Amino acid sequence: MKNFLAPALFALALSASTFQLVQAQETPDLPEDYSYLTRLHVPDAVAQCVAAFDHWVENAPKYDTLIVPDRRVLSAKIDDDTTIFSVGNPVPVDKVIVMRAFAKARGKEQWTRVDSRCGVRDGHVVGVSLTPNMKPKIVR
């Protein structure tokens, strides 16, 4: 009986540690600043995109600040059918996340509405883009 129990326990421990290793590779940890999004039940891919946008804007030549309101994060559109990030940046992706945000250009005081797009492949952000979205003028 002892000879049967030891290999079974070893196999169980090995499978549990392998599962944890695979889980750790699939879902990268979010920085602490974005952990509140998990409590809001935001999908992991969307939370990763918000973190990627903030990191990207720090080094971007055009913008110096980006705000994605929580209501926009909660209503982010996740497109699972798209296979490339964009025509201009044909990176293969599993998902494209689109949400409205607000950005401030370097050296300017005015905020601009932007459409933010984020490409995710294998649980990692592989591309981000911000496109100005001007509010349409009402013609009377």
Residue 27 confidence (pLDDT) above 80: no
Q: Specify the higher pLDDT residue, 55 or 8.
A: 55
Map tokens 């999908």 to a residue.
Answer: 43
In a domain, 35, yes or no: yes
Comparing CA positions, the residue from 33, 28, 89, 37 lying closest to residue 58 is: 33
Which range (35-39, 50-54, 66-70) has the least confidence?
35-39
Task: Give the chain's domain count.
Answer: 1
Evaluate whether residue 11 is within a structural domain. no
Residue 64 neighbours by CB under 8 Å, 6+ apart: 57, 104, 105, 106
Assigned domain for 47 exists: yes
- What pTM did the predictor assign? 0.69
Range of the domain at 57: 28-132
Query: Given CA atoms 78, 23, 16, 40 in this order, what sign does their dihedral have?
Result: negative
Average predicted confidence (pLDDT) for the chain:
78
Q: Is residue 19 part of a domain?
A: no
Q: What is the pLDDT of residue 121?
A: 93
Q: What is the mean pLDDT of residues 58-81?
A: 90
Q: Which two tokens stand for residue 79?
A: 């497109």
